[in-house]
Amino acid sequence: MAAPARQAARGQVIHITERGQRIAAIVPESMVEALLAAEDAEDAAEADAAWQEPGESIPLEQIEAEFGR
């Protein structure tokens, strides 16, 4: 395993730069898992909010007729 990967495995964030600008990072897997969990929670909250919005339901057949299937 390369040194940057070992550092990330120990919890460090390794920044990759190009001409002095950060362009990417090698991060611990736990950070990736936390980010994905946060995105899932945000998606679930947005879906819940959408279900609570007022308005009439549109039948699937109408949507398929309008937008194709």
Domain boundaries, the chain: 3-52
User: Taking a C-beta distance cutoff of 8 angstroms, is the pair 52, 61 a contact?
Assistant: no
Can you tell me the distance from the alpha carbon of 41 to that of 37, in angstroms, rounded to the nearest whole number?
6
The structure's pTM equals 0.59
Least confident of 9-13, 39-43, 55-59: 55-59
Average pLDDT over residues 13-37: 96
